Amino acid sequence: MLRKSRLKVQEDIPDSSMADIAFLLLIFFMVTTGFFNDKGLSIMLPGEAQGSAKIPKQNLCKIFINSAGNIYVDDQPMQEMTTISNYVESRMKENDKLVVIIKTDVNARYEWMLSIFDEMKKIGMKKISLQVNKKR
């Protein structure tokens, strides 16, 4: 009699805390997950070999940024980004071989150069040359 009743005892794996364990792990992974969301402007640096190609002067558009943040486009001072992009765009329409040179002073802010670069990308200019003014 006793034996029989013993056999009837059901053996269960306790699973009532399963959900708690799963949620704990879930919260851990939710907190540690950092979705990769980097954005940027891509450029291709020139290799060591090239870079000596001569470009005729009429195909050049020179943008100079000095250390005070003044911007000169073809030696004319320009302040507004829209004026610069309009000017370059009009020159680009006249001449499809146009190359833009962005010459930045070493002490200029990176932000200024990037905003010009962004403007050039916006108007679809692909031939951009980055130069630096090392003279003090």
Partner 1 sequence: MAVIKRKKKSADAKIPTASMADIAFLLLVFFMVTTVFKVDSGIDLQLPLAEKVEKLQRKNLAIVWINDQGKVAIEDKFVPMEFVSNLMDQKMFETNGELIVEIKADKTARYGAVDAVFEELKSSGALRVVLGANVESGGR
Q: Interface with partner 1 by CB under 8 A: which residues?
A: 15, 18-19, 22-23, 25-26, 29-30, 32-48, 65, 104-115, 117-118, 121-122, 130, 132, 134
23: left (phi over 0), alpha (psi -120 to 50) or beta: alpha
- Do 121 and 88 touch, CB atoms closer than 8 A? no
- The residue behind tokens 């799963």 is 22
Q: In angstroms, give the least distance from the CB of 90 to partner 1.
A: 19
> Closest approach of Cβ 116 to partner 1, in Å?
10
Minimum distance, C-beta of residue 58 to partner 1, in the bound complex (Å): 27
38 vs 57 by CB, closer to partner 1: 38
In angstroms and rounded to an integer, the radius of gyration of the C-alpha atoms of the chain is 32
